[in-house]
Structure 1
Amino acid sequence: MVFLTTKMMQRTALFVTFGGLVTCLVTTFLPFWKTMNSDLNEVENWFSGLWHMCLYTEEVGIQCKAYDSLMGLPMDLQISRVLMLVSVGTGGLALLAAFPGLDGVEMCARQPDLKRRLLVLGGVLSWVSGLATLAPVSIVAYTTVVEFWDQGYPDAMPRWEYGEAMFSGWFGGLALVIGGTLFFVAVCMGNSDQRPPSVPNSLRVRNGAKNYLKTEVL
């Protein structure tokens, strides 16, 4: 376990957090949150995202159109928009806060306590970003399942299903949560490295015995 040092743990946490942030950013603007195709017309595939509705046909390709009105969207998409933007913002702040706290970075080099606090702040923000990503993806997944099994719709009517962006959102949210946890682990490892070594009990007993013998002789 020679390579498992505090510095390596900090770099790993930063890399995982950055990867999760990029994945969440791409997921936010992908129009593949939900997909639908009709059995009556198999050459048409519909895709729905937070910002666009797309139609794919073999003759034309993919065509996307932005939603006309925000207030006309379902409540789950409105909430998902806000939470995904919060996720991207807090994830970016997590990277900005944690970078000066890394060992080897000249910023705040003479303030080790401030570096540890910046790493803790980066971990907290990364957790918030991860949870803000997992929540909207799970909400949209739940509403999709409920509408898919709704008996009120005719059987011939096409239903929305999971798109690729749902899985990338889950992956990005988990990566952000794991990155925040690794920041906390790095802080704990740094605190243990800076702790002075404890004196063995046998050495304490010997020193006590020597002092006792000196007192007797005196």
Structure 2
Amino acid sequence: MKMVFLTTKMMEKTALFLSFGSYVTSLVTAFLPLWKTMNSDLNEVENWFSGLWLTCLYTEEKGIQCKAYDSVLGLPVDLQISRVLVLISIGIGGFALLTGFLGLEGVGMGVKKPEVKRRLFIFSGVMTWVSGLTTLAPVSIVAYTTVVDFWDEGFPDVMPRWEYGEAMFSGWFGGLGQVIGGTLFFVAVCMGDYDLQRLNVPVSAELKPRTRHYLKTEVL
């Protein structure tokens, strides 16, 4: 008995599931104050954390204390650009998940035509791509500026430097997952087109079942 493990419906669900998980990862990353970390050799009990919206200080005595940035215009350019890109990613990613859910086979919430579902899946794939790229871009920008500042020879060696935080790696993971999820949306569309093409292929004369024709004879 031949079993089919990879079907169009399964690929659609895989694409939506991967996109959803990656979107949640990117969403959490956007608001975590763990994009950059810094600790000083002179005072090892203090650890600084920085994100797009907050800066935090952790001490053993008082725990973690966070504070929002005083002024948006006073932020570095890389943080300002990263904020805008992250907000765009959140909005587009959420809309892509909604259209992808409506395009699933078997979901008939106002969308029942196969052609409309196909277009929704294509649109969802493009939007998931954009959401993933707008997640990868701010993380990469902050990573680049962190490396440049870390190796800046103008700072004294005893001065602490910002380093990569855990949120930066989760941002790369979430953005890459969304790009892969968007690609799987297109794979599902191609699989659906192939299945539809197979159903519409006319049966050739050689494949038609053979029938026997008998001639009537008259007995004189």
Identify whether the pair has TM-score above 0.5, normalized to the shorter chain. yes
> Residue 107 of structure 2 corresponds to which residue in structure 1?
105
Deviations 1:117-176 (A, max 9, x none): 000000000000000000000000000000000000000000000000000000000011
- Report whether the alignment pairs 1:40 with 2:42: yes
2:203 is the alignment partner of 1:203: no
Structure 1 unaligned segments of length 5 or more: list them.
Answer: 205-218
Match of 2:5 among 3, 6, 9: 3
1:110 deviates by 3.5
2:68 to 55, 59, 66: 66
Q: Please give the residue correspondences for 1:102-181 in structure 2 after superposition, counting only pairs within 5 Å.
A: 102-108=104-110, 110-181=112-183
Distance 2:181 2:127 in 1: 10
Structure (1/2) with the larger helix percentage: 1
Quote the RMSD (CA, aligned, Å): 1.4
The 8 Å contact of residues 98 and 119 in structure 1, kept in 2 or not, is answered as: yes
When the two structures are aligned, how many residues end up with a matched partner?
Answer: 203
Query: How far is the alpha carbon of 1:198 from its aligned partner?
Result: 6.1
CA offsets, 1:94-126, max 9 Å, x none? Answer: 011111110011235531100000000000000
Distance in 2 (alpha carbons) for counterparts of 1:174 and 1:132: 11
For residue 91 of structure 2, give the secondary structure of its aligned residue in structure 1: helix
Contact 1:108–1:115 (CA under 8 A) maintained in structure 2: no
Q: Does the 8 A contact of 1:120 with 1:184 survive in 2?
A: yes
Aligned to 2:31: 29
CA deviations over 1:26-80 (Å, ceiling 9, x no partner) = 0010000000000000000000000000000011110000000000100000000
- 2:185 corresponds to which letter in structure 1? F
Counterpart in 2 of 1:80? 82
Query: Does 2:71 align with 1:91?
Result: no
Q: Whole-Å Cα distance in 1 between the matches of residues 202 and 47 of structure 2?
A: 67
Read off the aligned partner of 2:206 and give its amino acid letter: L
Q: SS at the partner of 2:6?
A: coil
Q: Which moved more, 1:109-118 or 1:44-53?
A: 109-118
Q: Kindly, what percent of the aligned residue pairs are identical?
A: 73
Runs (4+) of structure 1 moved beyond 6 Å? none
Alignment CA distance shift 1:66-1:110 (3 Å): closer
C-alpha separation in 1, matches of 2:113 and 2:37: 52
Secondary structure in structure 1 of the residue aligned to 2:20 = helix
- Quick check: 1:130–1:173 contact (8 Å CA) kept in 2? yes
User: Per the alignment, in what secondary structure is the counterpart of residue 203 of structure 1?
Assistant: coil
Listed as ranges, the gaps of 5+ residues in structure 2 are 208-220
Tell me if the contact between 1:101 and 1:108 (Cα under 8 Å) persists in the aligned partners: no
Question: What is the DSSP-based 3-state SS (H/G/I as helix, E as strand, rest coil) of the residue aligned with 1:65?
Answer: strand
